[in-house]
Structure 1
Amino acid sequence: MTHVPTTLLGDGLVVSALGYGAMGLSDVYGPAEERESLATLHHAVDHGVTLIDTADVYGAGENERLVGRLLAERRDEVTVATKFGIALGGSDSGTDAMTTRGDAGYVRSAADASLKRLGIDTIDLYYLHRRDVSVPVEETVGAMAELVRQGKVRHLGLSEVTADELRRAYAVHPIAAVQSEWSLWSRDVERAVVPAAAELGVGFVPYSPLGRGFLTGTLADRSAVSGDWRSGLPRFSGDAFDRNQAVVRAIQGIAAELDATPTQVALAWLRVQGERLGLPVVPIPGTRRAARVDENIRSLEITPDAEQLGLLSELAEGVVGSRSDHDDPDWVSETREDRV
């Protein structure tokens, strides 16, 4: 098994070079079995993965509680990251619609609730999950900075922010990491957000580095996602699903040349791309299976050559469908960045 080295993100935060995204341990991709989920978390930590990523919205809090069971036994071995800012419906809404909240009072209450569910005194990395555009980012980050001063949070992160929002936030308090979708088929962040992070010394934590499973080559037809929310995503819907298989076939070809899997190639590309663009990159692939954790870790042994990297870097141009999974145009940074 490959030894997982450490990486320095921003603000002095040291984590494993590959993290673990826990979202899928809730019922996001169909029913999850808690005992298997917890065993997979332990397996990841056993093999050197220290950064475990969750959020208060995953499983309506149950995901944090599950991670809390891991922390109850292995707190000193884990850098726990969680997120706030997405609220499910409202007290009188009667719906599960997702809205954004970034006001100072909500920041404080959300942090206290996450600490309770996780069963810990301090969150290592606390992210703003989605920007509430009705609230100045300075107000939201100012409230997050107060949590640091109170000892409830160690480091701050931002998810799906623009380059300008990142700079404005950083002027209030150092930012350790930006989290956004970034992969072989989602590269819009490279235009402005990644350069801004590199300029400020902020690390990058790509979520969905495997395209929500599509880039692994394990989703041969639409029936593979018929039981979960991906079936309604633009890149997984209708004709787009079949046309995007061309991207997978190209990755599979290069994987064969490297005696690797498509998963390992996709993760290795992100690592090398981060080195090329001058900033630390720590992907957080998620899985329910221990064997997949091992596969992900072995991506650290893979380095495509210059020709292979060139071919991989062309793939995003042929992707069909938006990366956004939400009707709100402000849900991801790409649309706000395009308006700048």
Structure 2
Amino acid sequence: MATAKVALGSQGFQVSPQGLGCMGMSSFYGPQKPEEEMIALIHKAVEHGITLLDTSDVYGPHTNEILVGKAVKGIRDKVQICTKFALHFDGKGMSVRGDPEYVRASCEGSLKRLDVECIDLYYQHRVDTKVPIEITMGELKKLIQEGKIKYIGLSEASAADIRRAHAVHPLTAIQLEYSLWTRDVEDDIIPTCRELGIGIIAYSPLGRGFLSGKNLADLSENDIRKNHPRFSSENFQQNKRFYDKLVAMGAERNCTPGQLALAWVQHKGAIPIPGTTKWENLQQNISSLDIKLTPEDIKALEDAVPHQEVQGDRSSDMSKTWIYTVSPPLESWTGSRH
């Protein structure tokens, strides 16, 4: 089981080699789960060495942070809490905000909901295309100086924006979608992180459950994967051939396809944050840390799931991914988002 900590980035942050994505406990992947059961699951994760807990103010919204806050009561010194800001629901839908006033208000709100004095790792969830990233980072730097956050991260940021942000204050982590079937970040973003000494957190390392055997019939009506391009009926059936290959490869190694998928991410030097609401799944995820892969194994897995052949976009809203969100130049800032 996972016990030894690893360095996330080069700023001194020590975390478990695998994290726990808490989003699905409260939102997006079906109905909110029973609070007591989810708190017990988080406790089991921590007892077994998984101490990196990932949440966001948009999960719920707000309810997931409250859940995590309750779960860490009495064990705050044993966990690393990572939360996020920037995604904002308004009357027109979801918008992105990175202006200083919103950064500060969001941090204060998260601290209150989590009921902690300091957030270990605070991410900008998405890049604001109206606010230069230097402005957002400037406010985050102040929050570090005030002791409200320890480390800064970005999620779904381009290599260029990562460099700009890192020049204001060192980034500790970049959170990005990274799995056997989503590998576009290997071209530019991951090399940039390696060069700058920034850690990599892989969200959806199991392809939103696809690589661990999630079927269309398993999805409830309010599960956002119902509208996910890769989970559409036609695409799902075409993509299933890749999953079937993982099943066969896992059988040869006496492990599950999901464990192979997680082991691949871990061997690529990223820290995955698979989400689950079930103890048996959590056990399997943790056990993936014991799987050893050779360079030949890694190539075989990548050949089995050629990401260029995967059908469907990786998100139902690609407009908010790093491909399309670019921070405006610093000289354009007038102190207003509009």
TM-score, scaled relative to structure 1 = 0.92
Take 1:226 and 1:60, find their aligned partners in 2: how far apart are those partners? Answer: 19
Partner of 1:151: 147
Verify the 8 A CA contact 2:2 2:17 in the aligned structure 1: no
Take 1:143 and 1:126, find their aligned partners in 2: how far apart are those partners? Answer: 12
SS of 1:81 mapped into structure 2? strand
2:227 aligned residue (227, 232, 236):
232
Partner of 2:60: 59
Take 1:47 and 1:226, find their aligned partners in 2: how far apart are those partners? Answer: 30
* 1:5 paired to 2:1: no
Take 1:27 and 1:127, find their aligned partners in 2: how far apart are those partners? Answer: 19
What do residues 227-271 of structure 1 show as CA deviations (whole Å, max 9, x unaligned)? 211010110013101111011011111111111111110010011
Partner of 2:107: 111
Partner of 1:323: 314
Partner of 2:200: 204
2:283 aligned residue (286, 289, 294):
294
Aligned length: 321
Partner of 1:130: 126
Verify the 8 A CA contact 2:235 2:311 in the aligned structure 1: yes
Could you list the structure 1 runs, at least 4 aligned residues long, displaced by more than 6 angstroms after superposition: none
Amino acid corresponding to residue 8 of structure 1 in structure 2: A
Unaligned runs of 5+ in 2: 327-338
Take 1:253 and 1:168, find their aligned partners in 2: how far apart are those partners? Answer: 44
What do residues 13-70 of structure 1 show as CA deviations (whole Å, max 9, x unaligned)? 1000000010011132212121111111111011111100000000110000000001
2:297 aligned residue (308, 321, 324):
308
Take 2:298 and 2:225, find their aligned partners in 1: how far apart are those partners? Answer: 28
* 1:40 paired to 2:41: yes
What do residues 96-150 of structure 1 show as CA deviations (whole Å, max 9, x unaligned)? x111000011000000000000001100000000111111011011111110001
Take 1:244 and 1:4, find their aligned partners in 2: how far apart are those partners? Answer: 35
Verify the 8 A CA contact 1:55 1:83 in the aligned structure 2: yes
What do residues 273-318 of structure 1 show as CA deviations (whole Å, max 9, x unaligned)? 22xxxxxx21100100122111111101112333332121131122
Take 2:129 and 2:218, find their aligned partners in 1: how far apart are those partners? Answer: 36
Partner of 1:18: 18
Partner of 1:278: none
Verify the 8 A CA contact 1:258 1:302 in the aligned structure 2: no
Verify the 8 A CA contact 1:188 1:334 in the aligned structure 2: no
SS of 1:60 mapped into structure 2? coil
SS of 2:323 mapped into structure 1? helix
Verify the 8 A CA contact 2:179 2:206 in the aligned structure 1: yes
SS of 1:82 mapped into structure 2? strand
TM-score, scaled relative to structure 2 = 0.92
Unaligned runs of 5+ in 1: 275-280
SS of 1:323 mapped into structure 2? coil
Offset, 1:223? 2.0
Give aligned-pair identity as a percent: 44
Take 1:36 and 1:74, find their aligned partners in 2: how far apart are those partners? Answer: 17
Partner of 1:273: 268
SS of 2:72 mapped into structure 1? helix
What do residues 61-88 of structure 1 show as CA deviations (whole Å, max 9, x unaligned)? 0000000001222111110000000001
Take 2:203 and 2:289, find their aligned partners in 1: how far apart are those partners? Answer: 17
Verify the 8 A CA contact 1:4 1:18 in the aligned structure 2: no
Partner of 2:217: 223
Take 1:68 and 1:191, find their aligned partners in 2: how far apart are those partners? Answer: 37
Take 1:290 and 1:319, find their aligned partners in 2: how far apart are those partners? Answer: 30
Offset, 1:336? 5.0
What do residues 127-182 of structure 1 show as CA deviations (whole Å, max 9, x unaligned)? 00011111101101111111000100000000000111111000000111000100
SS of 2:41 mapped into structure 1? helix
2:249 aligned residue (246, 250, 254):
254
SS of 1:83 mapped into structure 2? strand
